Amino acid sequence: MTKKGKFALGLALGAIGGAIAGVLTAPKSGKETREGIKNKADEVKADTEKKVEEVKKAAKKTMKKAETKAKDVKKRSVAAAKAARKEFTKQEK
Protein backbone atom coordinates (compact mmCIF):
# COMPACT_ATOMS: atom_id res chain seq x y z
CA MET A 1 0.00 0.00 0.00
CA THR A 2 1.35 3.41 -0.91
CA LYS A 3 1.89 6.23 1.55
CA LYS A 4 -1.10 8.00 0.04
CA GLY A 5 -3.27 4.90 0.50
CA LYS A 6 -2.10 4.41 4.09
CA PHE A 7 -2.82 8.04 4.85
CA ALA A 8 -6.30 7.78 3.34
CA LEU A 9 -7.01 4.61 5.32
CA GLY A 10 -5.79 6.25 8.54
CA LEU A 11 -7.86 9.32 7.81
CA ALA A 12 -10.97 7.21 7.20
CA LEU A 13 -10.45 5.16 10.37
CA GLY A 14 -9.84 8.33 12.38
CA ALA A 15 -13.00 9.89 11.00
CA ILE A 16 -14.98 6.77 11.87
CA GLY A 17 -13.60 6.71 15.40
CA GLY A 18 -14.25 10.42 15.89
CA ALA A 19 -17.76 10.15 14.54
CA ILE A 20 -18.60 7.23 16.81
CA ALA A 21 -17.10 8.95 19.84
CA GLY A 22 -18.99 12.15 19.04
CA VAL A 23 -22.29 10.37 18.60
CA LEU A 24 -21.92 8.30 21.75
CA THR A 25 -20.94 11.24 23.95
CA ALA A 26 -23.57 13.64 22.63
CA PRO A 27 -26.44 14.38 25.01
CA LYS A 28 -29.19 12.82 22.91
CA SER A 29 -31.91 10.25 23.46
CA GLY A 30 -31.30 6.63 22.56
CA LYS A 31 -33.41 6.92 19.43
CA GLU A 32 -31.53 10.01 18.26
CA THR A 33 -28.20 8.38 19.04
CA ARG A 34 -29.10 5.25 17.05
CA GLU A 35 -30.28 7.41 14.17
CA GLY A 36 -27.03 9.38 14.28
CA ILE A 37 -24.99 6.16 14.29
CA LYS A 38 -26.99 4.84 11.33
CA ASN A 39 -26.49 8.07 9.38
CA LYS A 40 -22.75 8.07 10.08
CA ALA A 41 -22.53 4.39 9.15
CA ASP A 42 -24.27 5.17 5.85
CA GLU A 43 -21.80 8.01 5.19
CA VAL A 44 -18.82 5.81 6.00
CA LYS A 45 -20.21 3.03 3.80
CA ALA A 46 -20.58 5.42 0.86
CA ASP A 47 -17.09 6.84 1.38
CA THR A 48 -15.63 3.35 1.68
CA GLU A 49 -17.36 2.17 -1.49
CA LYS A 50 -15.99 5.19 -3.33
CA LYS A 51 -12.47 4.50 -2.05
CA VAL A 52 -12.77 0.81 -3.01
CA GLU A 53 -13.67 1.80 -6.56
CA GLU A 54 -10.68 4.15 -6.71
CA VAL A 55 -8.39 1.37 -5.48
CA LYS A 56 -9.85 -1.06 -8.03
CA LYS A 57 -9.20 1.40 -10.85
CA ALA A 58 -5.64 1.96 -9.66
CA ALA A 59 -5.07 -1.80 -9.39
CA LYS A 60 -6.39 -2.38 -12.91
CA LYS A 61 -4.13 0.36 -14.24
CA THR A 62 -1.14 -1.17 -12.46
CA MET A 63 -2.01 -4.63 -13.79
CA LYS A 64 -2.19 -3.32 -17.36
CA LYS A 65 1.22 -1.68 -16.96
CA ALA A 66 2.67 -4.90 -15.54
CA GLU A 67 1.19 -6.97 -18.37
CA THR A 68 2.61 -4.58 -20.96
CA LYS A 69 6.05 -4.70 -19.37
CA ALA A 70 5.92 -8.50 -19.09
CA LYS A 71 5.02 -8.82 -22.77
CA ASP A 72 7.87 -6.48 -23.70
CA VAL A 73 10.36 -8.45 -21.60
CA LYS A 74 9.16 -11.71 -23.16
CA LYS A 75 9.47 -10.27 -26.66
CA ARG A 76 13.01 -9.01 -26.01
CA SER A 77 14.01 -12.28 -24.34
CA VAL A 78 12.80 -14.34 -27.29
CA ALA A 79 14.62 -12.03 -29.69
CA ALA A 80 17.82 -12.26 -27.63
CA ALA A 81 17.57 -16.07 -27.48
CA LYS A 82 17.09 -16.28 -31.24
CA ALA A 83 20.07 -13.99 -31.83
CA ALA A 84 22.22 -16.02 -29.43
CA ARG A 85 21.18 -19.28 -31.11
CA LYS A 86 22.02 -17.82 -34.52
CA GLU A 87 25.45 -16.67 -33.32
CA PHE A 88 26.11 -20.00 -31.68
CA THR A 89 25.29 -21.95 -34.84
CA LYS A 90 27.56 -19.59 -36.87
CA GLN A 91 30.45 -20.28 -34.54
CA GLU A 92 29.96 -24.06 -34.75
CA LYS A 93 30.42 -24.04 -38.54
Q: How far apart are CA 28 and CA 26, in angstroms?
A: 6
Cβ(40)–Cβ(19) below 8 Å: yes
Tens digit of each residue's pLDDT (9 = 90 or more) over 61-85: 999 999 999 999 999 999 999 998 8
User: What is the Rg, in whole angstroms, of the alpha carbon atoms belonging to the chain?
Assistant: 27
**DSSP-based three-state secondary structure for 82:** helix
pLDDT at residue 93, as a whole number: 62
Around 31, how many Cα atoms within 13 Å sit in the side-chain half-sphere?
0
Tens digit of each residue's pLDDT (9 = 90 or more) over 14-70: 888 887 777 677 677 778 878 888 898 899 889 889 989 999 999 999 999 999 999
Cβ(23)–Cβ(33) below 8 Å: yes
